Amino acid sequence: MSIAENLQKIHQRIENACLKSGRNPKDVKLLMATKTVSAENIKIALACDENLIGENKVQELKEKYDALKSIPHRTHFIGHLQSNKIKEVIKYADCIQSIDRISLVKELHKTLEKQNKTMDILLQVNTSFEQSKFGFPPHEVINFAKEVSNYSTLKIKGLMTIGLFSSEEAKVRRCFKILREIRDEIRDLNINTISMEELSMGMSNDLETAIEEGSTMVRVGTDIFGKRIHPDSYYWDETMKLEPKK
């Protein structure tokens, strides 16, 4: 299957899930998760009328930037962000979806303020309560959002989560439901510096469930570009080292 055919299939799946839940397919964006994908293949995908990519590693973001900069598109950072990489990320990304701790927010604000810049962000929530996943515990998100709303350089646009990896759909669905409920609660606070328009949730394996629970942005890698060689945990943690080859 070609990238173009895979994309067609993904859009069909998005449409079917929308139909099933009475939603408009226009309300669900497709972010192409492009970790490990070459600039060449990203170009092929962007040429299929796509315009949104997400990278997990600052190094990859940087490496592909020049090759892609002449093509109109937006780039979100979706990986675990180390504070010492903030300067680079704000140079190359349009939005950071993986805001997961207050120390990061403080550093980010300081750097943006110096450069007279602002940044769109999503707050990452650990809805699966797995140790291995980054993100705020659900019960802390609301207070955190209130605190972040005081930082004028940071524009909260919504929430992001990675669903539980499980074949039990009910458990996966619960993660997405938690995110939607937090979104609704924050919305009800009516804080004018916080927008809750974006619910970034759903990947290759669970995008239908996420859409049924209100996702406005699915992040798809494998089902567009094929399998990756390393397990996902490697891409989520910048500090993670691979086992040396024996």
Q: Which residues bind ligand PLP (CB under 6 A)?
A: 33, 35, 56, 78, 162, 203-205, 219-223, 232, 235-236
User: Minimal CB distance to ligand PLP: which residue?
Assistant: 221
Beta carbon nearer to ligand PLP, 32 or 105: 32
Beta carbon nearer to ligand PLP, 7 or 151: 7
Q: Shortest Cβ distance from residue 188 to ligand PLP (Å)?
A: 27
Q: Shortest Cβ distance from residue 131 to ligand PLP (Å)?
A: 17
Beta carbon nearer to ligand PLP, 134 or 151: 134
Instruction: Evaluate whether 46 touches 187 at the Cβ level (below 8 Å).
Output: no
Instruction: Evaluate whether 122 touches 97 at the Cβ level (below 8 Å).
Output: yes
Which helix (H) or strand (E) segment is 54 a member of? strand 52-55
Using CB atoms within 10 A of its CB, is residue 75 exposed (0-12), middle (13-18) or buried (19+)? buried
Beta carbon nearer to ligand PLP, 153 or 217: 217
Beta carbon nearer to ligand PLP, 151 or 235: 235
Q: Shortest Cβ distance from residue 95 to ligand PLP (Å)?
A: 13
Whole-Å CA distances, 244 to 104, 138, 241: 30, 36, 8
Residue 196: strand, helix, or coil: strand
Q: Shortest Cβ distance from residue 49 to ligand PLP (Å)?
A: 19
**In sequence order, which ranges of the chain are alpha helices (DSSP H)?**
3-20, 39-46, 58-68, 86-92, 102-114, 138-148, 169-189, 207-212, 222-225, 232-236
| Amino acid found at 33 | A
Residue 130: strand, helix, or coil: coil
Q: Shortest Cβ distance from residue 18 to ligand PLP (Å)?
A: 18
Beta carbon nearer to ligand PLP, 186 or 224: 224
Q: Shortest Cβ distance from residue 163 to ligand PLP (Å)?
A: 10
CA distance 14 to 71: 25
Which two tokens mark 79?
């990986």
